[in-house]
Amino acid sequence: MEERREEQARERARSMLLSGEARAVLGLRGGRGQVLPYLFSRPEELEDLSLSGIYPLAKVALRLLEKWEGGRLAVVSRGCDERHFVELEKKNALDTRRVALIGVACTEEEARECGCSRPYPNRVDAGHPLADADFFDRRELEELLGMKVSERRRYWTEVLSRCIKCYGCRNSCPLCNCVDCRLEESRWVRVGEIPPEYPSFHLIRAFHLADKCVDCGACERACPMHIPIRRLHRLIGEEMKRLFDYRAGRDAGEKSPLLTDLEEGPFATEGEDEVARFMEAVAREVGWVGL
């Protein structure tokens, strides 16, 4: 089954290169016991294209397109990758006319490992979509929400105290691409302090990604201290769904109910009561208020 899925991806990629639909294909290349991002420019190279492992390729594509002049780039994309591109389009971070996606449906094993609620893109070129399958286990979040606020604060204080401010969570995220990062500005986060002040570092990042995070888990996989930062983003994502019926990555034409530009002000003026409740709910979830 896995061999067939990889061959389907190779066939689609090869067709795009031969037809001129794409100038190159960004995917993962296997060899020497590891799988790494690779830019395939010749059809014969595609024999090494691998679907083993999950990597946030939208981050790589964004950097490539900044430097690469002309031509269209094909990107091997799982469901989470496609959702990254949807959010990048909303941010006007790239010209989507220069990107073509080769859609890959995750296997059930991969979907369970990631806890993905939609483990396939809109168009599937390789594999079979697990239609109506939701592997997002909400018991973990229900356990956190069942705690008293004081207990929640102790929990988040303990896990976030392990942070060494390596910026791995930010650097791995395709949607953390601001030119000037607020997490490196002393007016937002104290300089030279490890662990960073609780809860400003992680809460500022969480608020900034509140309407963008597609729950790919790249931040958590990149963390050398094994901080369950994805839980925080999932809690916020559930509040976005509950208060605004909004999910990041669903549709490029779906307007966010929030503005998270910390320079001009973090939130929109419309629906201020709902936004205020959202802010309070998120702060309560990390035990910052309500004691």
- The pLDDT tens digits of the residues spanning 5-64 come to 999 999 999 999 999 999 999 999 987 778 999 999 999 999 999 999 889 999 999 999
Percent of the chain with pLDDT over 70: 89
Output DSSP code: residue 196.
P
Phi, psi of 102 (to 5 degrees): -105, 105
Torsion of CA 254, 246, 168, 177, to 10 degrees: 20
pLDDT 10s digits, 211-241: 999 999 999 999 999 999 999 999 899 889 9
Q: Is the dihedral of CA 104, 37, 204, 223 positive or negative?
A: positive
The answer to which of 20-29, 142-151, 168-177, 215-224 has the lowest mean pLDDT is 142-151
Q: pTM for the full model?
A: 0.88
pLDDT, mean of residues 70-87: 94
- pLDDT of 89-116, one tens digit each? 998 898 888 999 999 999 999 999 999 9
Contact of 74 with 24, CB cutoff 8 Å: yes
9 or 2, higher pLDDT: 9
pLDDT reading at 268 higher than 70: no
pLDDT over 90 (residue 85): yes
69 C-beta neighbours (distance < 10 Å), count: 5
Please give the pLDDT value at position 264: 46
- Give the containing element (helix H, strand E) for 43: none
Percent of the chain exceeding pLDDT 90 equals: 53
Non-local (6+) Cβ contacts of 154 within 8 A are 287
Number of residues written out for the chain: 291
245: its two tokens: 């019926």
205 Cβ neighbours under 8 A, 6+ residues apart = 169, 170, 176, 183
Please, what is the angle between helix 272-285 and helix 149-160, to 10°?
70
Largest CA distance in the chain: 63
Token couple for 278: 């959202």
